[in-house]
Structure 1
Amino acid sequence: MPKKAAGKRGPAKRKLAEEFPPGEVFTDLTKKDWKLGPVIGKGGFGCLYLADVNSSKSVTSDAPYVIKVEPSDNGPLFTELSFYTRTAKPDLIKKWISSHKLKYLGNGKSYRFMVMDRFGKDLQKIFEERGKHFTRKTVLLLGLRILDVLEYIHEHEYVHGDIKASNLLLGYKVPHQVYLVDYGLAYRYCPEGNHKDYKENPKRCHDGTLEFTSIDAHKGVAPSRRGDLEILGYCMICWLCGKLPWEDNLKDPNYVKDSKIRYTDNIADLMSECFSKKDKPDEIAKYMETVMSLTYAEKPPYEQLREILLRGLKDIGQKDDGILDLDVSENGDIPAKPALKVFIF
């Protein structure tokens, strides 16, 4: 279970579900039984357990599933379940992939729980193991695939709201694939085609992961498409240079907000702060300038943004071959080969 980055905020006084012993059986809405194994993580939502279909056997360390459990009156898991119910239907995804010519798109007291395929290591751990640096090709390929996913969920009325390396996980049984996960902050920004109005709410200020969250979120404005793309931009900058200019002051949310606002109209200064003159990625600067020019309710130019990142690949003699220049073996080591195939879902 990835650790939450500094600055992560959540609703106050959220209740945690009590910890259930291994062997406890849960029955889902389809009347299917699931057996819990040991706890492998805890967070603001509750507990995360290894799990498998119910049988006489104990759940072992190689269990193919995990289950999130939270009290039924908590919010994050309800948000995530609502997102998956509305937007992650297999037929919807297949239709989108086909129509957009993609190779892939990168699940007494009462409790709410969700069964999911088990995932492996998150990219934040790999990022730190590699000295807090991904290659330019890796960053651009991740950016392209995340753009694909964001366009899909945006077109289905949701935004993600918390894009970061710790929410990009390797597959467990297929460790060369990468998945975008954790829709606990997903927000239905455009229900029934009606975009939410811009409205600042002091009670919601700084929601999200502080170092990456959008300026709108800092102001307490409901998440929007431009916010997701802004967050992705901060991630790409961090993955390339290792650190954002405001990271030493995460205990002061207003300082972080003011820093981001200050760079809004002068992306060149942001790039100069993060990169040496010879290492400046012009495509990331152009990406950020395009995103920062968007209005709150404006539909982003996804294809234009993809073209910007593709030009960046071309400038360094690379192409969109879907191959990241990193990999993780079963024991967590990073071998030189084979390379990692991008697969965001």
Structure 2
Amino acid sequence: MPPKTKAAGKGKAPAKRKLAEEFPPGEVLTDTGKKSWKLGAPIGKGGFGLIYLADPNSDKPVGTDARYVIKVVKQLPAPETCSLSKWITHRLKHLGVPRYWGSGLHERGGKRYRFMVIDRLGTDLQKKFEECGRRFPRKLVLQLGLRLLDVLEFIHEHEYVHADVKASNLLLSHGDPNQVYLVDYGLAYRYAPDGVLKEYKEDPKKCHDGTIEFTSIDAHKGVSPCRRGDLEIVSYCLLQWLCGRLPWEDRLQDPAYVRDAKIRGQENISELMSSCFSSQDKPDEIQRFLEEVKSLGYKDKPPYEKLRSILQSGLKSIQARDDGQLNFTAASVKVSTHTPVPGRVGSQWVCTEVVVFVSQRTAEDSGADGSPKRKKRPTKKTGEWA
């Protein structure tokens, strides 16, 4: 980590965005490939627009069994795209990013809207986490970690970082409960445009960007997102999924406190683990994962294979393997002194595919260097981690 500097400020909350107006069922949109799509009922909203059930245009109304969804947003520039086919063919049978089917512009009432079509997805992992009593089985957590490494390595190799990994941004497939997808690229950031890495620079005006309990220390300090930040966020997710809560979740209304708690945790990872687990239940692989991420510099390329091997060793230690089956049966994990705190169920996902890493923010939504200004406001909780 870079040398510690004077504590950054809390920053100001951005102005509330105006979502696209709701379109009536049956509205027809035509993408850039001249294919027409019919909208069904809206099923959710994200930070940038509304999400509708959709199907290819026909005489039939769009039913509740629609295979596609369309995200409609207002006044955003064209998305950038990249291909998944080579990656999947040569490395994996499945990569957890939504499949892109088309995009385009639509005019209504003198206003222009941009839209994108992707596969319909199912429930998010935050809902599953709550249903499981805020514990995931160790095997499942390690499987999810492995899948996130695959997704993030793909995104990182295309010069972007996600910057907002969390359970509510991980959705199960609509048809296959063993497939999970990382969604919501509203905070995605191009960390290396044309291969040139961004410099480390703290900016008090951009402090605490992201989702407060998971966001990286860099983001707390107003530093533009980077690859190590994504992996730091993943490590906090793994911790929470295993032990039920993070030590700083008691005071999410105080971003500076959360930042300092994370810095203390990075400085003494063993103590952080002790605050989350009883001595006999500490998962060694999670501590090793945290230590590996801590060793990364701001510009460093993460050792994805080494991180995978750490998680694989965790599976081996419990006589398990990544068999492709996601079992959400509640885990019987013992925690040291912490009582689970009811968590936030995430808002509806923002329908942006892996091909839409950036170019979704207007100048009003981002800083001069392309870094996002959007901040997720914390949910107030009581208590304290000393």
Q: TM-score when scaled to structure 1?
A: 0.85
Alignment partner, residue 67 of structure 1: 70
Return the letter of the residue paired with 1:196.
Answer: K
Alignment partner, residue 43 of structure 1: 46
Contact preservation (8 Å) 2:132, 2:328: no
* Distance change in 2, residues 1:154/1:59 (3 Å): same
Q: How does 1:323-338 map to 2 (within 5 A)?
A: 323-326=325-328
Structure 1 CA distance for aligned equivalents of residues 129 and 199 of structure 2: 37
More helix by share: 1
1:300-334: CA deviations, max 9, x gaps?
1111111111111111111232222238xxxxxxx
Determine if the alignment matches structure 1 residue 105 to structure 2 residue 95. Answer: yes
1:88-113: CA deviations, max 9, x gaps?
x1xxx3322444x4333233211111
Runs of 4+ in 1 over 6 A off after TM superposition: none
Return the letter of the residue paired with 1:294.
Answer: L
Alignment partner, residue 210 of structure 1: 212
Residue 192 of structure 1: SS of its match in structure 2? helix
CA RMSD of aligned residues (A): 1.8
Structure 2 CA distance for aligned equivalents of residues 33 and 152 of structure 1: 30
Q: How does 1:140-179 map to 2 (within 5 A)?
A: 140-179=142-181
Determine if the alignment matches structure 1 residue 15 to structure 2 residue 6. Answer: no
- Structure 2 residue ranges without an equivalent (≥5): 1-11, 101-109, 330-353, 355-386
Structure 1 CA distance for aligned equivalents of residues 51 and 283 of structure 2: 39
**Equivalent of residue 95 in structure 1, options 76, 80, 86:** 86
1:281-309: CA deviations, max 9, x gaps?
11100100110111100111111111111
1:171-223: CA deviations, max 9, x gaps?
11233321122222211111111001111122221111111110111111111
Structure 1 CA distance for aligned equivalents of residues 33 and 309 of structure 2: 44
Shift of 1:52: 1.2
1:65-105: CA deviations, max 9, x gaps?
111111114xxxx58x33xx1x3x1xxx3322444x43332
Contact preservation (8 Å) 2:178, 2:326: no
Shift of 1:10: 7.6
Return the letter of the residue paired with 1:96.
Answer: W
Structure 2 CA distance for aligned equivalents of residues 147 and 129 of structure 1: 25
Determine if the alignment matches structure 1 residue 26 to structure 2 residue 32. Answer: no
> Quick check: 210-219 or 23-32, which moved more?
23-32
Structure 1 CA distance for aligned equivalents of residues 322 and 41 of structure 2: 40
* Distance change in 2, residues 1:222/1:278 (3 Å): same
1:237-292: CA deviations, max 9, x gaps?
00000100111111111111111011111001110111011110111001001101
Alignment partner, residue 270 of structure 1: 272
1:128-168: CA deviations, max 9, x gaps?
10101111111011111111111111111111111111111
* Distance change in 2, residues 1:155/1:41 (3 Å): same
Residue 33 of structure 2: SS of its match in structure 1? coil
Contact preservation (8 Å) 2:163, 2:189: yes
Q: How does 1:180-195 map to 2 (within 5 A)?
A: 180-195=182-197
Contact preservation (8 Å) 1:211, 1:246: yes
Structure 1 CA distance for aligned equivalents of residues 189 and 298 of structure 2: 15
**Which structure's relative contact order is higher, taking Cα pairs within 8 Å and 6+ residues apart?**
2
> Quick check: 118-127 or 19-28, which moved more?
19-28
Contact preservation (8 Å) 1:218, 1:257: yes
Contact preservation (8 Å) 2:206, 2:223: yes
Return the letter of the residue paired with 2:31.
Answer: D
Alignment partner, residue 4 of structure 2: none
Structure 2 CA distance for aligned equivalents of residues 58 and 206 of structure 1: 44
Structure 2 CA distance for aligned equivalents of residues 288 and 160 of structure 1: 19
Structure 1 CA distance for aligned equivalents of residues 87 and 49 of structure 2: 33
Return the letter of the residue paired with 2:50.
Answer: C
**Equivalent of residue 242 in structure 2, options 237, 240, 243:** 240
Structure 2 CA distance for aligned equivalents of residues 11 and 32 of structure 1: 36
Structure 2 CA distance for aligned equivalents of residues 51 and 175 of structure 1: 21
Q: Report the count of equivalent residues.
A: 307
* Distance change in 2, residues 1:322/1:10 (3 Å): farther
Residue 110 of structure 1: SS of its match in structure 2? strand
Residue 144 of structure 2: SS of its match in structure 1? helix
